[in-house]
Structure 1
Amino acid sequence: MDRADYEDIAGQLRGLLIRLDDRLSSKDAALIAEFIDVGEPGLALEWMADQLSEYDQPLASDERVDMLALVERMQMKDRASRALASCPET
């Protein structure tokens, strides 16, 4: 992944973090932000998906689509996809 690609993905992750702020603990949000800052966007997305699913947090369809688009773009395995599938719809 080149620098421009990374910056775009990091920006999308930060945007998701803001949108999902009311459904993530402050500790989890800080950890996800740290993962983004140190160049671990895949780990950030997996942690975000895991925490949302662990606490049965609902996702709007556009939030789910945006997260799954990042999973696809980063060519991640399906761990995050499985976690997101267990999140209820809003």
Structure 2
Amino acid sequence: MHRSLRDLMDFPTVFRLRVIGYNQDDFATYIMVRVRRFAPEINEDNINARLSNGGKYCAVTVSFVAESEEQLYAIYADLSQDQRVLFLL
């Protein structure tokens, strides 16, 4: 049985997207700009970045108000095709 996100959450909703990639070329800003194409209200206050213990990886959390299931699918589709992104949570 296939369930949609609408069955699991009510929109609009506050959503926290976690993106993990290599710590290079200001990864956090890069992710903010990419996600902003789908959620224009995002700014630096909506971003939290943490480096791994060895500093090789960067985990970026982007908090925003998700307006629809389609918006979330578009963000995930865009980022999952990006070579700089290793994991999406």
TM-score range, shorter chain: 0.3 to 0.5
Over alpha carbons, which structure has the higher Rg?
2
- Greater strand fraction, Structure 1 or Structure 2: 2
Q: Which has the higher contact order (CA 8 A, sep 6+)?
A: 2
Q: What is the TM-score normalised by the length of structure 2?
A: 0.37
State the TM-score, normalizing by the size of structure 1.
0.37
